[in-house]
Amino acid sequence: MYQELNISDKTIKLIEKAEDSLKEIFHQIDTSCMRNTAKVLSAFQKYNVSENYFNSTTGYGYNDLGRDNIEKIFAYCLDAEDALVRSQFISGTHALTVALFSYLRPNDLMLSISGLPYDTLHEVIGIIPNNSSLASFGVKYDQIDLINNDFDYPKITEYLKNNKVKLIEIQRSKGYSTRKSLTIDKLEKVIKCIREVDKEVIIMVDNCYCEFVEDKTPLTVGADIMVGSLIKNLGGGIAPNGAYIAGKKDLVNLAGERLTCPGEGREVGPTLGINKSLLQGLFMAPHVVASSLKTAILTSKVLEDLGYEVEPKYNENRADIVQNIIFNDQNKLIKYVQGIQMGSPIDSNAVPMPWDMPGYEDQVIMAAGAFTQGSSIELSCDGPIRPPYIAYQQGGLTYEYGRLGVARAIEELQNSQSE
Ligand SMILES: *Cc1c(COP(=O)(O)O)cnc(C)c1O
């Protein structure tokens, strides 16, 4: 059965052995998936989803019943007062950019408390110069690094006592860094700490890859606004593109004015036929996230059994769907990523190579055998070509496909030589 897929019995045995020890952990994931599934179904019923929500608008997009209700449904699922869920966001980075430009004005100060933000935000903020960056408009930026994978509480308190900060940015998922991703518990603790000294500062969370991993959302524990992509968790592998901004109503409305134009705001924005896909994607999302988590945990266990360094370990609490394998070897990283591509449903014959990517500083190798371009809720794996040569793997629309993709990558890895 597996020979056609170039997966050996030896690899399948390794995987089956790992699965034996993962039963209890997989059961916990199913329990959490059940809770998030119930929440999504409640939202569909509360907002009376019916076939006419699948209709959509063209042109200006006035009176798009489906769009407006989809935003309410997303808000409910994220414990938000309101949400802006639009295909006019071309990526997660775009939604984060719109949010930052909505809330920050000349001379305002933005503070990241989770260290250096995601690579594609460097030019947005002006950490790397760009004539359209926040810095070019006179917005100031500062950052406080994490220490031992947690927030630097004393430094944050001290900073907020001595500076008027307009917006705090917290990135939960690790991006292309070597730190751990930040759980809701840690987020809750730091938000309490912030609110003790500053009741006004806008707390904005980059929540990419974290939706439906835990039961609570950043908003449940006191954040003001959260942002994420629809070609990650909440799109369930079905949304064709888009992103969301959710949280306090006034902040969501401000983002609407910035996404389209002042005065038109959220009243416009044609949905061009995607309403049904967004609803179906959200409907599937809890299960797809659970499948991605199981794929990540399996990967962690098997690769650890094979002697590789992994983060997180299979039995650690997870904040997101990302699994790292630290190869300490360029050739092994490349082989593994190529193996993920070979185990994919789309473009399995393509051989990914390290390449320059817009918005990223190092060359990056990416396996993306996905139905939707760049979709990383589908099994995908990428890594910047720099020591210690870490693979960032995420996604898996079903556990079965995730398992087979990983098996193919392990096969490729085992047959490769180190440098
Ligand atoms: C994916 C991601 C983003 C946004 O990336 P896009 O490719 O622009 O959607 C931002 N922050 C983090 C931590 C991410 O993982």
Euclidean distance between CA atoms 222 and 91, whole angstroms: 25
Q: Whose CA is nearest to atom 1 of ligand 1?
A: 208
**How far lies 356's CA from each of 131, 364, 365, 410, in Å?**
21, 6, 9, 26
Model pTM score: 0.97
Say what the pLDDT of residue 408 is.
98
Q: How far apart are alpha carbons 254 and 168 in whole angstroms?
A: 17
Position 62 scores a pLDDT of: 97
In order of start, what are the domains of the chain with their CATH numbers?
3-37+283-418 (3.90.1150.60), 57-272 (3.40.640.10)
CA–CA separation, 396 and 367 (whole Å)? 13
Q: Whose CA is nearest to atom 2 of ligand 1?
A: 208
pLDDT digits (tens, 9 = 90+) for 71-95: 999 999 999 999 999 999 999 999 9
* Locus of tokens 């950043």: 218
88, 100, 120, 245, best to mutate for ligand 1 pocket (most atoms within 8 Å of CB): 120
Residue 112 tokens read as 């990241």
pLDDT per position as a tens digit, 147-159? 999 999 999 999 9
β-pair partners for 244: 85, 228
Q: Where are the beta strands (DSSP E) in 49-208?
A: 82-86, 109-112, 140-143, 167-171, 202-206
What is the whole-number distance in angstroms between the Cα of residue 183 and the centre of ligand 1?
17
Nearest atom within ligand 1 for CA of residue 359: 8
How far apart CA 209 and CA 375 sit, in angstroms, is 11
Contacts 24+ apart (CB under 8 A), 199-202: 201/160, 201/165, 201/166, 201/167, 201/168, 202/103, 202/166, 202/167, 202/168, 202/251
Q: What number does the ligand 1 atom closest to the CA of 374 have?
A: 7
Regions of the chain short of the pLDDT cut 70:
359, 417-419
| Three-state DSSP class for residue 316 | coil
Give distance in angstroms: CA of 119 to centre of ligand 1.
9
Strands 390-394 and 380-384: antiparallel
Please list every protein residue whose CB sits less than 6 Å from any atom of ligand 1: 91-93, 118, 120, 171, 173, 175, 206, 208-209, 229
Under a CB-based contact definition with an 8 Å cutoff, are residues 217 and 78 in contact? Answer: yes
Could you tell me how many residues make up the chain? 419
Residue 354, number of CB atoms within 10 A of its CB? 17
Indicate the Cα dihedral angle 153, 93, 295, 216, nearest 10°.
Answer: 50
If you write DSSP's letter for every residue of 210-261 in order, what string do you get? TTTTSSS-TTTTT-SEEEEETTTGGGTTT--S-EEEEE-HHHHHHHHHHHS-
Q: Which atom of ligand 1 is nearest to the CA of 229?
A: 9
Report which residue type is found at 416: S
